[in-house]
Amino acid sequence: MLQINNLQAGYGEVQVLWDVNLTVNSGKLIALIGANAAGKSTTINVISGVIPPWNGEIYFKDQRIDTLDSNIIVESGIIQVPEGRKLFPFLSVRENLELGAFSKRSRHNMQKNLLNVLEIFPDLKAKMNQHAGTLSGGQQQMVAIGRALMAEPEILMIDELSLGLSPLLTQTMLKTVKVINEEMGTTVLLVEQNVHLSLEIADYVYVMENGKIAIEGDPSVIMTNEDLKKSYLGI
């Protein structure tokens, strides 16, 4: 579904990504894990068209997208939940959610998708008219994911889901992401520092180190290999 070949990118003269190769198959939950500043967020920002690639190719459903503008990439069905939520704090929860349905592909299904989001995140029902900036961190993350779901993603990319959340709430949110993947059939690319929980829910794992894919494989193999855990995951 999504294929990244020999991707290179960076900021100014500083190269961050070095020949990254990554595949996201339809219907799967793929985890991209690694330490802070490993290049994970840069990778999905390049996929989204926010950062231009220096070299390499990105294909979505066999169509090359690395030369497209970000709005065209969104219209194709690749939707990102950015690191830090990036909500509009002085708009209501409802308004933030409805902004997710701005694209042509999802505008006509706004009300149906809104009901689906509230079914997934029932805690938001009583907060719909409240300013998003007044919510707790966990509730803001619910709004951020809900806003992305309003866009009817074919691939949902979530950047640092656990950022600022308690361990218990992180577990709850990751379980919700698994439900979105399995019950809604949404393909997920999860960028995450929480190694243990990511390995528990992912179908396949890429470990990034210093802008490169250091190892990849089935999470059960990585979890049971002590050398890999010590060398690349610090556990």
Contact yes or no for 1/77 (Cβ under 8 A): no
Range 59-91 burial, b when 16+ CB lie within 10 A, else e: ebeeeebbebeeeebbebbbbbbbbebebeeee
Q: What local confidence, expressed as pLDDT, does residue 199 receive?
A: 87
The span from the CA of 233 to the CA of 38, in Å, is: 12
Q: What local confidence, expressed as pLDDT, does residue 64 receive?
A: 97
Confidence of residue 90 (pLDDT cuts 50, 70, 90): very high
Q: What local confidence, expressed as pLDDT, does residue 232 receive?
A: 58
State pLDDT tens for residues 139-176: 999 999 999 999 999 999 999 888 888 888 888 899 99
Q: What local confidence, expressed as pLDDT, does residue 234 receive?
A: 63
Q: What local confidence, expressed as pLDDT, does residue 193 receive?
A: 80
Q: What local confidence, expressed as pLDDT, does residue 195 receive?
A: 81
DSSP calls for 154-166 = SEEEEE-TTTT--
* Residue 225 CB coordination number (10 Å): 15
Mean pLDDT of 203-208: 94
Could you name the CATH architecture of 1-77+154-235?
3-Layer(aba) Sandwich (3.40)
Provide the 8-state DSSP code for 229: I
Percent with pLDDT over 90 in the chain: 74
Q: What local confidence, expressed as pLDDT, does residue 223 receive?
A: 78
Work out whether strand 2-11 and strand 14-24 pair parallel, antiparallel, or are unpaired: antiparallel
Provide the 8-state DSSP code for 18: E
The identity of residue 33, as a single letter, is: I
State pLDDT tens for residues 5-51: 999 999 999 999 999 999 999 999 999 998 888 899 999 999 999 99
What sign does the CA torsion over 102, 104, 108, 111 have? negative
Residue 218 has pLDDT above 70, yes or no: yes
State pLDDT tens for residues 106-137: 888 899 999 999 999 999 999 999 999 999 99
Q: What local confidence, expressed as pLDDT, does residue 235 receive?
A: 61
- Calculate the average pLDDT of the chain: 92
Q: Nearest-CA neighbor of 193 among 160, 218, 230?
A: 160
Residue 230 has pLDDT above 80, yes or no: no
The span from the CA of 122 to the CA of 100, in Å, is: 18
The lowest-confidence range among 45-49, 79-83, 164-168, 206-210 is 164-168
SS3 content of the chain, % helix, strand, coil (to 5): 40, 25, 30
Contact yes or no for 66/57 (Cβ under 8 A): yes
The model's pTM: 0.93
The residues spanned by each domain of the chain are 1-77+154-235, 80-152
Q: What local confidence, expressed as pLDDT, does residue 102 receive?
A: 87
Mean pLDDT of 72-95: 94
Contact yes or no for 205/40 (Cβ under 8 A): no
Query: Which residues 6+ apart lie within 8 Å of 91 measured at CB?
Result: 99, 131, 132
> Rg for the chain (alpha carbons), in Å?
17
